Amino acid sequence: MKQQPRALFITGADGGLGFALVEEFLRYDIHVFAGFYRSETGISDHRRVTPVDLDVSKPDSIRSAATAVARETESLDILVNNAGVHLEDKRVPLEELDLADGHLERSMAVNAFGPLRVIQAFLPLLENGRSRRIVNITSEAGSIGACRRDREFAYSMSKSAANMATRLLNNYLGPRGFGVLAVHPGWIRSGMGGPEADLSPAEAAARVAGIILGPFPEDGTIYLDQNGNSLPW
| CB-CB neighbours of 133 under 10 Å | 22
What integer best gives the mean pLDDT of the chain? 94
Q: Note the pLDDT tens digit of each residue in 99-119.
A: 999 999 999 999 999 999 999
Catalytic residues: 155, 159
pLDDT over threshold 70, residue 158: yes
Query: Which of 41-45, 139-143, 164-168, 208-212 shows the lowest mean pLDDT across its residues?
Result: 41-45
pLDDT over threshold 60, residue 165: yes
- Rounded to two decimals, the pTM is 0.95
State mean pLDDT over 181-210: 93
Q: Note the pLDDT tens digit of each residue in 12-47.
A: 999 899 999 999 999 998 999 999 998 666 665 678
pLDDT over threshold 70, residue 206: yes
pLDDT value of residue 147:
97
Q: Determine the Cα–Cα distance for residues 38 and 154; give it in Å rounded to an integer.
A: 22
Structural domains in the chain, sorted by start: 7-224 (3.40.50.720)
Q: How far is CA 120 from the centre of its chain?
A: 14
Q: What percent of the chain has pLDDT over 90?
A: 89
| CB-CB neighbours of 113 under 10 Å | 18
pLDDT bin (cut points 50, 70, 90) of residue 194 is confident
Q: What is the DSSP string of the chain?
A: -PPPP-EEEES-TTSHHHHHHHHHHTTSS-EEEEEESS---GGGGSTTEEEEE--TT-HHHHHHHHHHHHHH-S--SEEEE------S-TT--GGG--TTSSHHHHHIIIIIIHHHHHHHHHHHHHHTSSS-EEEEE--GGG-STT---SS-HHHHHHHHHHHHHHHHHHHHHGGGT-EEEEE----BSSTTT-TT-SB-HHHHHHHHHHHHHSPPPSSS--EE-TTS-B---
State mean pLDDT over 76-93: 96
Beta carbons of 139 and 85 less than 8 angstroms apart: no
